[in-house]
Amino acid sequence: MTRINGTLFTLTALCCLAAAVPASAEVFKSVNECVVGKRVTDGSNKSGKIASVDGVLCHVALDEGGSPHAYIFWMLRNEGSSAETDDKLVPGRYACYAGRNYTFMDIVITGANSYETKGGSGKFHVEPSRKIVFESGPLKTNGAKLTRGPNIDINSDGGSFYGTTCSYQKK
């Protein structure tokens, strides 16, 4: 036991608490991770409790109130985990999906700051916030962010909802 500012702590208790903290902030990989009563956070950092599960949808009663909001499982992560990733965009093909449906669009990272799609090629950079800025080319008007995987989450309106995820295709 150790005394800090008049409070007794055991090293064992501190170690157990540290082990209980999730090591990664991965979004859910399966609907099985949606457990009724579990606290979760979405991509907009809104938190709540899973109220029910229906197919691939997790219905979350958000802390902000109102009726439960439906999320596809991969739109959620455990509450308290960070959305940040230290993954890098590596050269290769990133196949794009909206939910479970292939969009017939791939993003090919061709170099440290270059990409190609069916529509042409362009330049990009990744900001410290993990935001991907397409500087030129066919994706210039799209919003995007780098997520764990590595994955590219992309939208066409610059908002906080990313309906398309492009996943790195390992060979």
What residue ranges do the domains of the chain occupy? 20-78, 92-168
Residue range 20-78, CATH number:
2.30.30
94, 108 in Cβ contact below 8 A?
Answer: yes
Asked whether the predicted pLDDT for residue 106 surpasses 50, the reply is yes
pLDDT category of residue 166 using cuts at 50, 70 and 90: very high
CA separation for the pair 52, 45 (Å, rounded): 20
SS (H, E, C) the chain: CEEECCEEECHHHHHHHHHHCCCCCCCCCCHHHCCCCCEEEECCCCEEEEEEEECCEEEEEECCCCCCEEEEHHHEEECCCCCCCCCCCCCEEEEEEECCEEEEEEEEEEECCEEEECCEEEEEEECCCCEEEECCCCCCCCEEEEECCCEEEEECCCCCCCCEEEEECCC
CA separation for the pair 125, 117 (Å, rounded): 16
CA separation for the pair 156, 145 (Å, rounded): 12
Q: Dump pLDDT digits (tens) for 64-80.
A: 877 789 998 878 888 88
Residue 115 burial (CB < 10 Å; 0-12/13-18/19+)? buried
Asked whether the predicted pLDDT for residue 12 surpasses 60, the reply is no
pLDDT (mean) for 127-137 = 92
Calculate the average pLDDT of the chain.
81
- Token code pair at residue 54: 């229906």
Report which of 133, 23, 134 is spatially closest to residue 81, judged by C-alpha positions. Answer: 23
Q: Dump pLDDT digits (tens) for 22-58.
A: 334 567 877 889 999 999 988 778 899 999 999 889 9
